């Protein structure tokens, strides 16, 4: 039984680690980060595969945790998909190093490693390893120069930017299916 507990601890602990060369931003200000972000690009995973018009919304809870709501449109099924989760700081609240859970007690790293510190208009997020990368912005589109700069930064850190999926945000919102409130 003790070995099982150790294995579970090691597995869960590995999900909240920081990939090599990735450093969470310091001076992070959660109140400025809250609100809605548009997903500009991502490394694809099954939980987001085929989704367009993806947003991530963050809202402070009374207990100090953050409610996370990810939404996207699945054209194949003609419906909106939504996932709700909880985020908590791993170390301290001025470091962009959080853990997020969409499945009960199982958490994964949410590392803000690039951020528009002046206006909080764009961010790059890593998961526990370099197979997870998101580029987020407060607007559905970012200019070409910023996009190139962010892609170069991610590539220099070892992310496979050639596999990024650029999320459709500009087409008119689909009318089929019911959008979550």
For 116-165, how does the pLDDT look when each residue is reduced to its tens digit (9 = 90+)? 999 999 999 999 999 999 999 999 999 999 999 999 999 999 999 999 99
In a domain, 178, yes or no: no
Question: Which pLDDT band, with edges at 50, 70 and 90, does 4 fall under?
Answer: very low
According to the model, what pLDDT value does residue 174 have? Answer: 58
State the Cα angle at 140 between 181 and 138, rounded to 5°: 80
pTM above 0.75, yes or no: yes
CB-CB contact of 25 with 96 (8 Å): yes
Helix and strand numbers, DSSP H then E, in the chain:
3, 9
**Distance separating alpha carbons of residues 145 and 139, to the nearest angstrom:** 15
In a domain, 177, yes or no: no
CB-CB contact of 70 with 86 (8 Å): no
Dihedral, 24, 82, 164, 161 alpha carbons, nearest 10: 10
CA atoms within 13 A on the CB side of 81: 17
In a domain, 12, yes or no: no
Given a cut of 90, is residue 37 above it in pLDDT?
A: yes
State the Cα angle at 42 between 69 and 40, rounded to 5°: 75
**Residue 167 CB neighbour total at 10 angstroms:** 21
In a domain, 84, yes or no: yes
In a domain, 2, yes or no: no
In a domain, 6, yes or no: no
Q: Give me the domain span that covers residue 31.
A: 26-166
In a domain, 66, yes or no: yes
Return all residues near 99 (Cβ < 8 A) that are at least 6 apart. 15, 16, 87, 88, 90, 107, 108, 109, 110
**Distance separating alpha carbons of residues 98 and 112, to the nearest angstrom:** 8
What CATH number does residue 33 fall under?
A: 2.40.128.20
Pairing of β 35-43 and β 122-126: unpaired
What's the pLDDT tens digit per position in 41-93?
A: 999 999 899 999 999 999 999 999 999 999 999 999 999 999 999 999 999 99
């Amino acid at each position: 039984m003790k070995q099982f507990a150790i294995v579970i601890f090691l597995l869960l602990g590995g999900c909240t680690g920081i990939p090599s060369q990735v450093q969470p931003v310091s001076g992070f200000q959660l109140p400025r980060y809250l609100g809605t972000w548009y997903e500009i690009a991502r490394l694809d995973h099954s939980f987001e595969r085929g989704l367009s018009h993806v947003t991530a919304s963050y809202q402070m809870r009374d207990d100090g945790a953050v409610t996370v709501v990810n939404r996207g449109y699945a054209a194949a099924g003609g419906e909106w998909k939504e996932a709700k989760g909880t985020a908590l700081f791993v170390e301290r609240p001025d470091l962009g190093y959080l853990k997020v859970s969409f499945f009960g007690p199982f958490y994964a790293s949410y590392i803000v490693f690039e951020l528009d510190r002046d206006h909080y208009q764009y961010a790059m997020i890593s998961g526990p390893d370099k197979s997870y990368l998101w580029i987020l912005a407060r607007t559905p589109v970012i200019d070409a120069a910023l996009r190139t700069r962010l892609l170069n930064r991610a590539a220099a850190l070892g992310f496979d930017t050639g596999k990024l999926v650029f999320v459709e945000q500009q087409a008119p919102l689909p009318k089929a299916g019911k959008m979550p409130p």
